[in-house]
Amino acid sequence: MNMTCKAINKGIDQHRLQHASNDLEIAFAEKWEKENECRPGINSGHGILQDLYLTQKDGKYQWITNEERIAAATAIQWLGTNCGFCFLNTVLEKCGYRIYDEEARELKQKKWEKERKKLEEKQKKELELQKRISRKLCFIWK
């Protein structure tokens, strides 16, 4: 029997996904469930994460239980919470990786561009003022 088709790959805290204020928690949970769907042609229908679902006991491979699947899915869902994502960021940074928010980066860049333009305008006005003062001083000097 192919256990992956009837297996449970959802975390124990599914109720959190209905009211989650954090899109990451939903994304982690949904992606984990999708990656564990039964798919013909991929690892004999076991899905791409099949190796996580095999344990070796007495020299034989056997499928892990639904309880073990639920525990794994709960841990994956937790990575999408504030605490879990902080943990994930800390581990990745320790390994030299960095996660950044593309939208936040774009907003910062727009803000910098706006500030740069303001500064350029201010400098342009100051230069014009200096020119006018210089012309007046030249006029007075003559």
Between CA 25 and CA 102 the distance in angstroms is: 18
pLDDT > 50? residue 121:
yes
| Secondary structure class of 71 (helix, strand, coil) | helix
State what percent of residues in the chain have pLDDT above 90.
18
| Confidence tier at 133 by pLDDT (50, 70, 90) | confident
pLDDT > 70? residue 126:
yes
pLDDT > 60? residue 1:
no
Distance, first Cα to last Cα, the chain: 104
Residue type, 51: D
Q: What is the pLDDT of residues 37-66, one digit of tens each?
A: 777 766 666 556 666 666 667 777 676 777
Alpha helices for 19-101 (secondary structure H): 23-35, 66-78, 82-94
pLDDT > 80? residue 141:
no
- 30 and 66, same domain (yes or no): yes
Q: How many domains is the chain partitioned into structurally? A: 2
Burial 105-118 (b: 16+ CB within 10 A, else e): eeeeeeeeeeeeee
Residue 68's domain spans which residues?
3-94
DSSP single-letter state for residue 48: T
pLDDT of 4: 44
User: Which residue from 27, 29, 36 is spatially nearest to 13, judged by alpha carbons?
Assistant: 29
- 41 and 18, same domain (yes or no): yes
- 8 and 78, same domain (yes or no): yes
- 90 and 105, same domain (yes or no): no
DSSP single-letter state for residue 64: P
- 105 and 86, same domain (yes or no): no
State what percent of residues in the chain have pLDDT above 70.
75
Q: Supply the pTM of this predicted model.
A: 0.58
User: Which residue from 48, 9, 32 is spatially nearest to 80, judged by alpha carbons?
Assistant: 32
pLDDT of 124: 92
- E strand or H helix that includes residue 56: strand 54-57
- 28 and 82, same domain (yes or no): yes
| Confidence tier at 2 by pLDDT (50, 70, 90) | very low
| Secondary structure class of 106 (helix, strand, coil) | helix
- 67 and 126, same domain (yes or no): no
Q: What is the pLDDT of residues 81-116, one digit of tens each?
A: 889 999 999 999 999 998 888 887 788 888 888 999
- 23 and 87, same domain (yes or no): yes
